[in-house]
Chains A and B, each alone.
Chain A
Amino acid sequence: MLDPRIIPCLLIKDKALFKTINFKNPKYVGDPINAVKIFNEKEVDELIVLDIDATIEKREPDYNMIEHLAEECRMPLCYGGGVTSSEQIQRIIQLGVEKVAISSAAIENPNLVAEASECVGNQSVVVVLDVKRNSLNGRYEVWIHNGYRATGMCPFELALQMEKLGAGEIVINSIDNDGLMKGFDFALVDRILKSINVPLTVLGGAGSLNDIGCLIDKYRIIGVAAGSLFLFKGVYKAVLINYPNRIEKDMLIEEYYRKRL
């Protein structure tokens, strides 16, 4: 039986590991390779690594860093950040990355998604949508350039468009919930899941394993990603890389997923 995926998401800035709140105030967490080594031992389902500076600084992906990460990862790796062409995507895949995430570039140039899936296959093309609720009209809107620029676009229509062009997975990232650890935005997940047929991964808001359980309980086979939850411990958010061990994860999935089939 296919299990839901529980995925740590690592943010990279100046080659180091950081964690943000609402996409702001990046806090230094440590060394990404060290984090990967710990997550290897924890046997995590997948790993997402996002270079949050690359697009804003208009620079190419850091291929040396990606190669190094891919060599260390004993789990599937999804890399995102600064990707603007299908040549870059092919190069990243050749470095040993399973999936490449595109966000700003996919929205500014949707044809990139089609080109990319043509050469590397749709299963390796992930589109990340950073979403924020408009405080005036309550509508969900897609933001690009790491939360700096509003597009006014509707995430639900955009997600379907991306799927039709060849995206094999959509990651929906809630800017409003980022780093708050207060739970996922179910209204957002509801609507996005109804819009698409490819796998969805939800990011932004996980504060406990129970939050993950609730999402799995409701949406069954889904990707659940989290940053803070797997990087910090306790009320003072001390850095402690963690992930449920095999027994804990099995119990979680048993309780929220298999038992309720």
Chain B
Amino acid sequence: MIAIIDYGLGNVKALANVYKRLNIPAIIIKQVEDLKRADKVILPGVGSFDNAMQKFENSGMRKLLCEMVFERHTPVLGVCVGMQMLACSSEEGSLPGLGWIDGEVIKFRLSSLKSSMRVPHMGWNDIKQVRTNALLQGLDVDSRFYFLHSYYFHCHKNEDIVAVTDYGGEFACVVNSGNIYGVQFHPEKSHQWGIRLLENFGKL
């Protein structure tokens, strides 16, 4: 069963709806006890980095989730700010991140973008796979995803980057290290391509 962590941020219902349509068991969880039953976890997130870290900390789920991820090797998928939380730190805030994938979250610099490019990076963009990964199975041609963010994940290790997107330069939009996955875009709002990605995660 997939646990979609509801710590007060992120589109938990849209994620749950996708799995309902796919007939893959998934539940929205608010209590740490319910997390124990999960064999996969989705960590959503919108909003500012510190607010998300603080709310997640307050949920009391961090310790158990750590155990699950590192001892039981439970697959975890961070979405949007949920992905950024996997990093060590973010320019957007002062709280440390989870530090599960080596990297830092940095802001798009307007000076490095073309004049028609604006921040936030908002809308549908394509992704380029740099290595094959089960999460992106069947998504190698013409897949597009919805992005909505002003900060991006800067990976310190190239091998953790699964796919990149170009916005005034390439940035990591899908990362993976072991059983830890992150996507910068919103798969729950990315029509058939997002559904496929969430299905792939469900089948890991």
Q: Does B1 contact A (CB under 8 A)?
A: no
For A46, what are the chain B residues with a Cβ–Cβ distance below 8 Å?
123, 146
Contact with A along B132-158 (1 / 0, CB 8 A): 000000000000101111100000000
> How many interface residues does chain B have, given as a range?
35 or more
Residue of A nearest to B16 (CB): A71
- Chain A contacts for B117, CB-based, 8 A: 2, 221
Hey, which chain B residues are within 8 Å of A99, CB to CB? 148
Interface string of B1-40 (1 = CB under 8 A from A): 0000000110111100110000000000000000000000
A98 and B46 form a contact (CB under 8 A):
yes
Stretch at the interface among A25-33, A113-121, A172-180: A113-121
In the bound complex, CA of A98 to CA of B17 (Å): 16
- Tally chain A residues at the interface, Cβ within 8 Å: 38
Picked from A96, A124, A199, the residue with its CB within 8 Å of the CB of B13 is A96
Contacting residues of chain A (200-236) with chain B, CB-CB under 8 angstroms: 200, 219-221, 223
Closest to A93 in B: B46
Asked if B150 contacts A221 (CB within 8 A), the reply is no
The residues of A that contact B110 with a CB separation of less than 8 Å are: 197
Q: A96-B14, A98-B186, A200-B118 are in contact. List 15 more A-B contacts (CB 8 A).
A: A2-B125, A5-B124, A43-B191, A73-B14, A74-B14, A119-B48, A120-B46, A121-B48, A123-B148, A123-B149, A124-B46, A168-B120, A197-B118, A221-B118, A221-B123
A80 to B51, CA, bound (A): 23
Q: Is the CB of A198 within 8 A of B46?
A: no
B18 partner residues in chain A, CB cutoff 8 A: 74
The answer to the question of A45 belonging to the interface, with a C-beta cut-off of 8 Å to chain B, is yes
**Residue A1 at the B interface, CB < 8 A?**
yes
**In the assembled complex, which residues on chain B have CB atoms less than 8 Å from the CB atom of A3?**
123-125, 144
Contacts of B8 in A (CB 8 A): 94
> Mostly helix, strand, loop or mixed at chain A's interface?
loop
Q: Does A75 contact B (CB under 8 A)?
A: yes
* Residues of chain B contacted by A119 (CB below 8 angstroms): 47-48, 51
* B122 contacts A169, C-beta separation under 8 Å: yes
A67 to B110, CA, bound (A): 35
Interface membership of A4, Cβ < 8 A? yes
- State A51–B78 Cα separation when bound (angstroms): 32
CB atoms of A45 and B120 under 8 A apart:
no
